[in-house]
Chain A
């Protein structure tokens, strides 16, 4: 019957290899440009870098060919390309710090290490988790783990406060952001919980203004998650993690129940919480001020919006085409290599480069949704959609914060910004998505074989 069209379906491994080739060119070329403009271009190190990247990418390709042969062919190359641009940019910022600030940093080399570790983790996910449905068994374990990870920074002696946000913990002298891992655990938990309880949650309640709202007695879980999000916002002093956490839950709840009334209720609750927090807590309020009145002389001179405005100046100086890699002054923005790497990219690669990057993210996210629609089991659908939506929301919160769409928060840009936790966690997400997509597309490729 319908198998005629499906005869065309291929595993896509060749396409993946070709796309990886393109990603490799971007990775190597961007680094070569950075080195060239820093008068640092030597062929031997570049060859090692290019060779290493090729080896790593090829290894991934072979592992996927063997253990997830039907996995989505676009995901991996797109993420590699984003990661490569990030590596080049961070190296460039190292040079800028050295040249203009006399500051010796080696974020670039450290980030290469994190990248390799992240890629290995992603492959380990594919090798260890042969079937994503097994994860459903760990639904409540994941819930507890996620909660503990979120709470770790609040443990005295372990948590560290950086930049006014308490989202780091100190492990052997390194600061980690456990929230990045908690995000994954929470997606697993929500997926398992919602696939089991979706029928109850989808039950109709009272009708208000033409919309059917859930029964009040089923509101429990939503209220619990809402309270948890508010606690996160207040105690960690970070709007980003809380918004991400709550947003993921709402998105997945919607996918599970198909009830827009849940989303409306949730958004209203979060809005009330956010406004209330702004009224009650001065540190939240100053974040809002910095967002709404960033260029106001009073707000600026008080220092609350200075980083944000400097980022805006950087992006504005980049214009349409950017100053070119190695020709701007990204060092003039605090945390140019991590929180504000988007501003650095906007400055040196211009609006064109930034848009290209955002489109790459969009491609990754859309592939995740594609996977969600393709996979057959409900848990897999929720997992893929949840992971995809978490990536999208995280990018939106970070880039939106830097570009004044929403208040600035302390999240990192996946695969791009400097930081180990974020790199490892987001590569795990890639591994999970590849795994689910293998399942999603295998059904069709096998059917056509």
Chain B
């Protein structure tokens, strides 16, 4: 009976191997699927049960978790919540996550692969899983100045470091306090969320990167100018600039702001046309360049390309095969041209950085709970938007806009500022959106930015980029220059 007993013990071995296989399948191979199953409340509980890492601005935690005595163990708190909501987003037990709270979730909650050794250490020390801290590129004071300059008006400000692509400020208005949604009383959170959603001003929308994209208006003339320079134009090339330009195949005409002639001779240089923002000159230039040239240049600046900074950025759009009349309208940033404020800041940054467009980013570094740096974002070239000499020409043209043209409102004593105004028809019967994009100091910028104020801010039909948006840009640039002088930028 020994032989069958031996064989039976082998059968037992096979049975146990089946068990080992099944447990491996459940606990390792198929574990991810089971953990993601929406019926699995465990993942939810564990998420809330962990110490979640902070989000840091200027070395200060603006979002952090504190232990509380309720089933969720930790309460998420937001310092200056309204100011930083555009970047941080919210973390809600009911509505999930947005912003960095969402995109950096695995780092913040400690489950990211890069935290494996930290987790292993916690395991042996018998400590709870801890999240990493996410350090943003934002400058707290620049963000504050931008938000205060924009005030209650609907709009957005985006400021970049042209050399690296760091997002120094990202303001959207109106905004909200993430703390309203981070509470543990679900009925209060539900009510707050419903109110925010119902608000016609749309405080939950991040206008800087992900709102409805705006027509860029005259700020798009920068892209057309870049296309012209690349096609062999110089700043001194004479353009046709009539008082009114009849659009081919239509009965409509394009006029200039206020209906005036750009120049009594009906001709002016490219530089002058940009300086006074001459619509007829650029509409005609657009038609003679052809849409393909402008489209290619727009792509060089990042149009039609969604970005993750790591917040998802809506791609800025271009019209599809426009005819001559539509090309003329597009060349002055109307018709179907759309841009996010970030996109326009990227245009300014590329011109200011000798034609090299850096990839914009919002997360500077990630630190493990023991403060060891897990990763830092290295600046990365996104595109070579222009040649260095074209960029230098365009920069000088933009300096002229501020010192002698429509951008006078952004002049800063003792510093050369390069800028461009924009006053874009909304396509509705409202005051125009007012834009200003700029960088300073012009020869070696520390900041490049875009400002948009929706519908002129107070609904004034006469509002222009130069009167409404330029002063905001000026305030932000002054603060950036001050910070740079103190070595804080």
Contacts and interface: CB of A to CB of B under 8 A. Distances in A.
A256 B2 CA distance: 9
A256 B7 CA distance: 12
B19 A405 contact: yes
Contacts of B188: none
A254 B8 CA distance: 8
Contacts of A321: 120, 123
A389 interface: yes
A40 to B, nearest CB: 14
A46 to B, nearest CB: 16
B23 interface: yes
A320 B29 CA distance: 10
A34 B26 CA distance: 25
B485 interface: no
A358 B35 CA distance: 24
B31 interface: yes
A267 to B, nearest CB: 12
Interface stretch (B38-46, B166-174, B374-382, B414-422): B38-46
A373 B10 CA distance: 13
A310 to B, nearest CB: 8
Contacts of A362: 12-13, 16
A235 interface: no
B31 A319 contact: yes
Contact of A320 (B6, B18, B27): B27
Nearest to A326: B126
A319 B2 CA distance: 40
Contacts of A399: 19, 22-23
Interface string A311-350: 0111111111101100101001000000000000010001
Nearest to B9: A369
A37 interface: yes
B19 A351 contact: no
A346 B16 contact: no
Interface in A343-380: 346, 350-351, 354-355, 358, 361-362, 365-366, 369, 372-373, 378
Contacts of B19: 358, 395-396, 399-400, 403, 405
Nearest to A352: B27
Contact of A33 (B4, B13, B34, B126): B126
A183 interface: no
A351 B39 contact: no
Nearest to B26: A315
Given A317-B46, A324-B123, A389-B8, A381 B26 contact: no
A332 B1 CA distance: 47
Given A313-B40, A400-B18, A381 B23 contact: no
Contacts of B37: 295, 313
B28 interface: yes
Contacts of B45: 329, 332
Contacts of B13: 362
Given A319-B27, A320-B28, A346-B27, A313 B34 contact: yes
B4 A350 contact: no
A391 to B, nearest CB: 9
A309 interface: yes
A31 to B, nearest CB: 14
B15 interface: yes
A88 interface: no
Given A396-B16, A400-B18, A373 B2 contact: yes
A449 to B, nearest CB: 24
B127 to A, nearest CB: 9
Contacts of B18: 396, 400, 405
A308 to B, nearest CB: 11
Nearest to B119: A321
Interface residues of B, number: 40
Interface string B126-138: 1010000000000
Interface in A240-274: 251, 254-258
B5 interface: yes
Contacts of A324: 123, 126
A36 interface: yes
Given A389-B12, A396-B19, 7 more contacts: A254-B4, A258-B1, A314-B42, A315-B27, A395-B19, A396-B16, A405-B19
Q: Is the interface of A mostly helix, strand, loop or mixed?
A: helix
Contacts of B41: 332
Contact of B23 (A257, A258, A351, A373): A351
A382 interface: yes
A438 to B, nearest CB: 18
A366 B6 CA distance: 9
26 contacts: A312-B34, A313-B39, A314-B42, A315-B26, A315-B27, A316-B34, A317-B40, A317-B46, A320-B27, A329-B42, A329-B46, A351-B24, A351-B28, A362-B13, A369-B8, A373-B5, A381-B2, A381-B5, A382-B1, A385-B1, A385-B8, A389-B8, A399-B19, A399-B23, A400-B15, A403-B25
A412 to B, nearest CB: 16
B42 A317 contact: yes
A358 B97 CA distance: 41
Contact of B9 (A258, A320, A366): A366
A392 interface: yes
A392 B31 contact: no
A433 to B, nearest CB: 14
Interface in A263-318: 295, 300, 309, 312-318
A362 B16 CA distance: 8
Nearest to A372: B5
A279 B336 CA distance: 66
A251 B28 contact: no
B60 interface: no
B3 interface: yes
B30 interface: yes
Contact of A350 (B1, B2, B27): B27
A365 B126 CA distance: 33
List of 6 A-B pairs having minimum Cβ-Cβ separation, nearest first: A316-B34, A403-B22, A369-B9, A316-B31, A351-B27, A392-B12
B260 interface: no
B201 interface: no
A65 interface: no
Q: Which of B2, B27, B35 has the most CB of A within 10 A?
A: B27
A314 B20 CA distance: 17
A251 B23 contact: no
A404 interface: yes
Nearest to B128: A327
A375 to B, nearest CB: 10
A255 B8 contact: yes
Contacts of A355: 20, 23
